[in-house]
Structure formats: C-alpha cells, structure tokens
Amino acid sequence: METLVKLLLGLVLLLLANAVPLLASPKAHHHDFVVQAAKVKRLCKTHNSITVNGQYPGPTLEINNGDTLVVKVTNRARYNVTVHWHGVRQMRTGWADGPEFITQCPIRPGESYTYRFTIQGQEGTLWWHAHSSWLRATVYGALIVHPREGSSFPFPKPNRESILMLGEWWDANPIDVVREALRTGAAPNVSDAYTINGQPGDFYKCSSKGTVIVPVDSGETNLLRIVNAALNQQLFFSVANHKLTIVGADASYLRPFTTSIIMLGPGQTTDVLITTDQPAARYYIAARAYASAQGAPFDNTTTTAILEYKKAACPAKAKCSSPKPVAATLPVFNDTATATAFTTRLRSRERAEVPTDIDENLFFTVGLGLNRCPPGVRARNCQGPNGTRFAASMNNVSFVLPKNFSILQAYRQGVPGVFTPNFPGTPLVKFDYTGNVSRALWQPVPGTEIYKLKYGARVQLVLQGTSIFTAENHPIHLHGYDFYIIAEGFGNFNSKTDTAKFNLVDPPLRNTASVPVGGWAVIRFVADNPGAWIMHCHLDVHLTWGLGMVFVVEDGIGASQSIEPPPADLPAC
C-alpha cells in the first residue's frame, strides 16, 4: 500500500515538474552579443567597424510571439554602447529597453549587461540596434517574431521568407562624422551608399561581387521582411515587374493591399508578399531616398539586390555570366504624393481598439531650429546657416540627454537634478507652424524635460511639423508602445475640421509615424506600460540635435501595473 502511494506521488510530481514550466514560463531564447570592432570592406576600402559578433548586419533573432529573449551584451569596443529592441513593447520591463541615459547608463568598454524581455501580442518584423551616439550605423539586426506557437499567419503560408535590411554606409567612421558635425554646428556629411543586408549592390564601386541574391522558384510566394535601418533617410523600395502585397508593418498585421512602391521611414518595417509570376529572369530589388526637405543635400544613390529565379541563374562554377537584371522603377526623390499615397492606405487587419474618451490631449510641434552662435564661441564652431548651429526640438524644447544618470533610474530612486517634469503638453507660443515662421521663433530652449502620464491615461497626440529652417518628413518613434495613427494631413492641424478625418475603426498600429512634410499626424495610445519612454525623430541627426522628449508613465495599482525591479546587473551610472 505504502509503495503504491509513493509510486503515485512520484508520478504526480513527475507530471507536475514537466507540466509546470511549460505553463508558467514562456520559452526563453539565450543569445550572446559581443560588441566589437571588425574589418568590413565596402566601396573599395576596409573599415574597422563596430559590429555584433563581427557580423554586419548583426545576427538575426527569431522567436515566436509569447517567447522570452535573454541577450547578454558584452562590450569589447572602445565606445560606450547600449542595445535597443526597436518596437518591442517591453511590458513592465523598461529596464531592458536600451536607450542610453533614458532607461540605463551605457555598457562601458569591458562591461556587460543582460537584456531580458518577453514578446507578447506582437507578430511580424522588428529589429534591434545600438542606441548610443551613431553606433547603430553598423550595430543592428533583424528581430523576427513568428506567430504564436501552434498558430499561423492570417494569410496563406508563404513558401519562403527573406529579410531585407536597408542600411546606410559612410566611407568613414560614423562616430567621427557626428563628432565633426557637433564640432562645426553644420549638418553632418551625407552617407556614401545605401545597403541591403549590408551590401550596396551593383551601382557602386567595388560592390557588385557582394550584391545580395534572393533566390526564388517560379510560382511561389515569398514573404519579404523589409526594415529601414538607415540612419538618416526615408527610403522608397520596389522590385522590378513585381507587385507587392502589404500584409504587415511594425509587427502588426495590416489589411492586405497591392502596390508597386513602398516608403519606409527609418525605424519602420513592412512585411510584403510577392508572387513569382514573371518570366524566369533576374529582377532588381532597389531602394533610394525619399528626401522631402527642400534644397537639403542628401545621398542620391540607389542600392540594389537581385530577385533571381533559379532557372535564370548561372549555375555555380559554370562558364556563363548571369543575365543583366531587369531594372526597377522608383519615384523621384521628392515624390511626396507617392509617399503619402502609401502611408495613408495602411489599415489594421482587425477592427482596432482605438481609445476614445481622451484624458490627455497633447499637441507637440516637431522640427528644426538654428541656434545663434553663443558669445565667446568661435566662427569655426558655428558653421550652420548664417553662422549658426543646427538644433531641433519638440514644443520648442531641444532635448538634452542626461550626462551621467538615466532618467528611469533617477525617477525610480528620486534622484534630483537629472530631469525636470516641465515638458509642455501644448506649444507655449502658438504660431503658423507651417507658414513663414518669424526668425524670432527659430531658436529652441535646451532642456531635459519629461511629460508625466498617469497609468492608464488615454492619450491623443498631434504631431505637428514646422517649417522652421525647412519643413521635412519626420519619422517619429515612441518607445514602449504601439500607437494608432488615426489621421494625417498637410498644413496646420485644425482641431475643428480635421477631427472629421479621424479613423477610429481600422487605423494602422505602429511604433513609428511618418509625419508628412509640412503637415501633421494624430496618434492615440493608452499609457499602460510604466517606465521612462523616449519619443524621438528616428533620423539620428535630428535626435542628435534634440528632436525628442520623454514620457514618464507612473505605476498603476499592484504588481501587474508596475514596472519590475531593476536587474542586478543594470550598468552603474
């Protein structure tokens, strides 16, 4: 009898031991990232670039919706570094978000920090990148979130998936490029190439050997996961002779529609199905700038990869040369009509849960500025237009990163003097934002100011572009949240008439909004994730100049509405 009880008990314990971890803890994926310099040869020259694990672009992370990622980042480079998981909601795990001096102090050379977070309710393509100075020029990679285990895409399963990361390459050390710009006060040098998976492609010197090939069979569907990882440039993208069926963006599904051109702002991702229904041949996949700022210099080159039908390929080692790829058509660089036609077509796949009954009605201007040369500063440090220094701001506050503490740590520990809670919810001075703005309004005020949100606040935010110095399309990215883009338009937002344009039924859910050049976008979200969340322009040069601010979202009631305690290895400030 006793042995039978023991046996049964043992059996029950065995069953529990196996079942409980499956139920209680999501599947965890462990990775090691070593940030280190590595030799990267591009455009005929070898650079000592900062990479992860010596790879450029860095490793692709793949998980299922619901899984946990544990990434130990060790810094073997000579710069401070942090890693940001772009678009990951980081529910209650704000310590793992990554932006330097916002949620953590940097990982110093020789040190390490383990990022640990769970992806919940997001499916599609995201990415990761360094969030310190301009290191993300070479420190980035894809983060693929497959459907939850046991479920599948809300569209027929594609035969193949290909990641296409669009990047931007300087024939120089990008850290030197930004340092030089900060020294002179002028705009930084534009890049020398765009890249697809790190390769510029056929139209650049010393490049065609490395051109990325996407092999396909006839009559299949291929899911292209496209990421704009460029530092400072919106990009148009197309594939010669092939239609693109949009199915997702920023790891949210969209109602499918077909187009031949897409536009991505830096930070944005788009998931696209293509069907290989064309004659077996080789077709260019191409991307080039959508440059909306009038008269501003930009990199006017075109990057390419090749969609290659296997039947049209020259077999390895065979004595033939592959046929020339079919050319791709792309809009002209300033084709705002095409860019807007694309972004305004995006719709959620399902009916959206857009917050109504708004608690916080916010209005932020976003744009550039010019600082007069400060007294005592030499002319060589004021080489911006007419002897000024470039700046940028939201609501006229030019964001300054704390120097030796993070905002999240300062907030949680009550450390004074790191930030002030005075970010204005609406502009202190109202003016014709997209008109001929008086020079008196061109100079923003520097500050490390945050805007506090109560847990659960329903937020509406109008992002209003300005024409200060020049109007321009701004990719505005919010950390820790996805938001609905309920409307966009040109000119000044009119709170009486433009509300008629609000889509509260099926607007797209994104983490980065393209605010139209000389226009506005309205976003909504519920502040249900406590922490310190930076919102900034994802053109790194604009962030460098101060185009950002921070929302501090308070804890709600109980543990499930509060940020977790900081990890023990959070870098010391």
Q: How far apart are CA 115 and CA 73, in angstroms?
A: 8
What is the identity of the amino acid at 555?
D
Q: Which helix (H) or strand (E) holds 407?
A: helix 407-413
Q: Judged by CB under 6 A, does residue 84 bind ligand C2O? A: yes
Q: Nearer to ligand C2O by C-beta: 234 or 245?
A: 234
My answer on whether omega of the bond before 256 falls inside 30° of 0, hence cis, is: no
Q: Is the dihedral of CA 176, 182, 183, 189 positive or negative?
A: positive
Minimum CB separation from ligand C2O for residue 233, in Å?
14
Piece of the chain touching ligand C2O by CB under 6 A; list 38-46, 250-258, 401-409, 534-542: 534-542
Distance CA 314, CA 318 (A): 7
- Which of the ranges 171-179, 358-366, 410-418, 532-540 carries the binding residues for ligand C2O, by CB under 6 A? 532-540
The residue within the footprint of ligand C2O, chosen from 94, 99, 444, 571 (CB under 6 A), is 99
Query: How far apart are CB 322 and ligand C2O at their closest, in Å?
Result: 36
User: Per-residue b/e over 265-293, b at no fewer than 16 CB within 10 Å?
Assistant: bbbbbbbbbbbbebeebbbbbbbbbbbbb
Query: Of 350, 120, 163, 127, whose CA–CA distance to 272 is shortest?
Result: 163
Q: Express the helix, strand and coil content of the chain in percent, nearest 5 each.
A: 15, 40, 45
Chosen residue from 225, 458, 479, 542 binding ligand C2O by CB under 6 A: 479
x-or-dash string of contact with ligand C2O, 262-301, rule CB under 6 A: -----x----------------------------------
Residue nearest to ligand C2O as judged by C-beta position: 86
The interface mask with ligand C2O, positions 12-51, x = CB under 6 A, is: ----------------------------------------
CA 428 to chain centroid: 29
Nearer to ligand C2O, 227 or 453 (CB): 227
Other beta carbons within 10 Å of 55: 14
Shortest Å, Cβ 242 to ligand C2O: 29
- Residue 434 or 511 having the CB closest to ligand C2O: 511
Smallest gap from residue 97 Cβ to ligand C2O (A) = 9
- Of residues 116-135, which lie at the interface with ligand C2O (CB under 6 A)? 129, 131
Residue 93 Cβ vs ligand C2O, minimum distance, rounded to whole Å: 16
256: exposed, middle or buried (C-beta count within 10 Å: 0-12, 13-18, 19+)? middle
d(CA 307, CA 309): 7
Of 66 and 267, the one with the shorter C-beta distance to ligand C2O is 267
570 SS3 class: coil
Angstrom distance (rounded) from CA 104 to CA 20: 33
Closest approach of ligand C2O to the CB of residue 82, in Å: 10
Q: What is the largest CA-CA distance in the chain?
A: 95
CB of 538 to ligand C2O, least distance (A): 6
Nearer to ligand C2O by Cβ, of 51 and 207: the residue is 51
Nearest distance from C-beta of residue 9 to ligand C2O, angstroms: 52
Pick from 86, 89, 389, 458 the residue near ligand C2O by CB under 6 A.
86
Q: Does 474 bind ligand C2O (CB under 6 A)?
A: no
Give the one residue of 247, 534, 552, 553 binding ligand C2O; rule: CB under 6 A: 534
The piece of 148-156, 181-189, 342-350, 530-538 that touches ligand C2O (CB under 6 A) is 530-538
CA dist 457 and 455 (Å) reads 6
Smallest distance, Å, CB 47 to ligand C2O?
23
- Is residue 178 within 8 A of residue 545, CB to CB? The reply is no
> Least distance (Å) from ligand C2O to the CB of residue 326?
33
Task: Name the residue nearer to ligand C2O (CB basis): 225 or 389.
Answer: 225
Q: Report the alpha-carbon distance of residue 535 to residue 95 in Å, rounded.
A: 16
Q: Which two tokens stand for residue 526?
A: 């519920």
Residue closer to ligand C2O, measured from CB, 442 or 451: 451
Calculate the CA dihedral of residues 47, 51, 57, 60 and round it to 10 degrees: 160
**Binder among 42, 47, 474, 536 for ligand C2O (CB under 6 A):** 536
Minimum distance of ligand C2O from residue 230's CB (angstroms): 11
> Residue 202 — φ and ψ, nearest 5°?
-65, -20
Point out which residues bind ligand C2O (CB under 6 A).
84, 86, 99, 129, 131, 267, 477, 479, 534, 536, 538
